[in-house]
Amino acid sequence: MNDDTLAELARVLEARKGADPDSSYVAGLYHKGVDGIAKKVGEEATETVMAAKDGDPDALVHEVADLWFHSLVLLAQQGLGPEAVLAELRGRFGLSGLEEKARRGEGHQSDSSGE
């Protein structure tokens, strides 16, 4: 596995910001703006859920790759890169999900949804 894949893909996504939408799928996504890109992320998330529920590992990997890809395009469109998300995940190492949730509750006491 190449650990630089996300960074390399992010560089390609940056380079596509000046590309012709007719010759680049990514440029076409940028052309649709945040609403169009976010819609694709939502679709890919739904397809990921369906693949998981179907119990098809190959389809699940395919759909998660589509989800990650479109999420990276969304990040790029917002001026962010995968390093920001990786740093966020790294910062969570060693912190239990339940503990993090409790801390979040302390910071947002008006949130009574329990989620």
Ligand X SMILES: N=c1c2ncn([C@@H]3O[C@H](COP(=O)(O)OP(=O)(O)OP(=O)(O)O)[C@@H](O)[C@H]3O)c2ncn1[C@@H]1O[C@H](COP(=O)(O)O)[C@@H](O)[C@H]1O
Cβ nearer to ligand X, comparing 16 with 81: 16
Contacts (CB under 6 A) with ligand X, residues 41-70:
66, 69
| CA-based nearest residue to 50, from 67, 35, 72 | 67
Cβ nearer to ligand X, comparing 22 with 115: 22
Task: Provide the 10 A C-beta neighbour count for residue 102.
Answer: 10
24 binds ligand X (CB under 6 A): yes
Cβ nearer to ligand X, comparing 8 with 100: 8
What's at 53, amino acid-wise? K
DSSP secondary structure letters along 33-49 = HHHHHHHHHHHHHHHHH
Q: Residue numbers of the site for ligand X (CB under 6 A)?
A: 9, 12, 16, 24-27, 66, 69
